[in-house]
Structure 1
Amino acid sequence: MLEFRHVCKAYTTPQGSLSVLSGVDLHLGAGESLALMGESGSGKSTLLHLAAGLDLPDQGEVYIGHQSLANLNESGRARIRRNRLGLVFQQFHLVASLNVADNLRLQARLAGREDAAWSTRLLARLELAGRERQYPEQLSGGQQQRLAIGRALASRPALLLADEPTGNLDETTAETVLELLLELVAESGSSLLMVTHSPRVAAPLDRRVILRRGQLLADTARSRLPCA
């Protein structure tokens, strides 16, 4: 579902070139969940942006299914995000002018895959049934994050990318939201790549890898060629 092949990425800074990813190889299968861990500045967000086609590698290739993102222009990558990906962030990024029901259906409508029965089921599972006409500002932080998760999964994406999805919540709420996220991912049949710094959050996922100094450690580690 997601594959990185010897991906390298660097950025230009006033001090010179800064290597962020160095020969990263990663494979995520259909229906599999993977926690990407690492310290702040290790390159986790860069890797997630590359997976979403928001940026392109300097070397190597990123595949969604059998499609290389490097072979697509920006419109093509946006189409992949709309039709095949779901995105959940630490910040909720809900549309303030849309009510709960319309926020939930937004991504599915854009993808042309709105399913009224699935949306109704999601609202119930998210414990937001009866709040359809409320607006984000009327919800608690946990409710807003549950809504953001529902929006991302309403189109039943092939791949869900989650960047510290519980990082903005207190511990009790975070555990509830994480449990719900994993249950809904399983129900929707999506693959999951989750960025987290927390071993507790990572523990329930199928696999865990660590990004350190631009390279992946743990169960995806293998010999790497240096970046040019």
Structure 2
Amino acid sequence: MLEFRQVHKAYATPQGPLKVLDGVDLSLNAGESLALMGESGCGKSTLLHLAAGLDLPDRGEVRLADRVISSLGEADRARLRRETLGLVFQQFHLVPSLCVLDNLRLQARLAGRERPNWTAELIERLGLAGLEKRYPEQLSGGQQQRLAIGRALAPRPALLLADEPTGNLDESTADQVLELLLALVRDTGCALLMVTHSPRVAAPLDRRLQLSHGRIG
């Protein structure tokens, strides 16, 4: 589903190039869950952006669903994201002008895969029944994150990329959101790559890898 082959990435700074990824190899199979761990600033989010085709490697190859991302133009990368990926971030990135139901439907509609029965099931499982007409600002942090997870999974993507998805929540709410996320991932059969610095959050996933000094150990 996802493969990194000797991926290098650096960014220009006034002090010279800042090496972020230094020959990263990584693979994730369909239906598998993987936690990518490491300290803040170690390159975890950069790796996730490369996996989504939001950025491109300086050297090496990123393959998503058997396609080499760097060989695609911007429009084709956007289409591949829309058709293949679900994205969940630490910041919820909900559309403030859309109600709960329309936020939930958004990604599935863009992918052309809206399924009313699945949307109704998500509303129930997300604990948002009765709140369909509310707007994001009228929800708690936990409700907003559950909605963001539901939106990402509404089109039943092949791969879910999650960047510290419980980082803005208190521990109790974070545990509830993580349990829901993993249950929905399992039931949809999608693969999961989650970035986290927390061993507790990483523990339930199938595999755990550590990113340090630009390399996976």
Q: Same fold (TM over 0.5)?
A: yes
1:81 to partner: Cα distance: 1.0
1:68 to partner: Cα distance: 0.5
Deviation string 1:116-147 (CA, Å, 9 cap, x unpaired) is 00000000000101111111111100000000
Partners of 1:70 and 1:167 in 2: how far apart? 30
Q: Aligned residue pairs: how many? A: 217
Return 5+ residue gaps in structure 1 as ranges: 218-228
Summarize the alignment of residues 94-113 of structure 1 with structure 2, pairs less than 5 Å apart: 94-113=94-113
Partners of 2:134 and 2:19 in 1: how far apart? 45
Partners of 2:56 and 2:101 in 1: how far apart? 34
Look up the equivalent residue of 1:88 and give its one-letter code.
Answer: V
Runs of 4+ in 1 over 6 A off after TM superposition: none
Look up the equivalent residue of 1:98 and give its one-letter code.
Answer: L
1:110 to partner: Cα distance: 0.2
Aligned counterpart, 1:122? 122
Summarize the alignment of residues 39-78 of structure 1 with structure 2, pairs less than 5 Å apart: 39-78=39-78
The reply to whether residue 179 of structure 1 matches residue 182 of structure 2 is no
1:65 to partner: Cα distance: 1.4
Aligned counterpart, 1:140? 140
Aligned counterpart, 1:17? 17
Look up the equivalent residue of 1:161 and give its one-letter code.
Answer: L
Aligned counterpart, 1:8? 8
1:71 to partner: Cα distance: 1.0
1:211 to partner: Cα distance: 0.2
1:53 to partner: Cα distance: 0.2
Look up the equivalent residue of 1:112 and give its one-letter code.
Answer: G
The reply to whether residue 92 of structure 1 matches residue 92 of structure 2 is yes
TM-score by length of structure 1 reads 0.95
1:149 to partner: Cα distance: 0.1
Aligned counterpart, 1:80? 80
SS in 2 for 1:175: helix
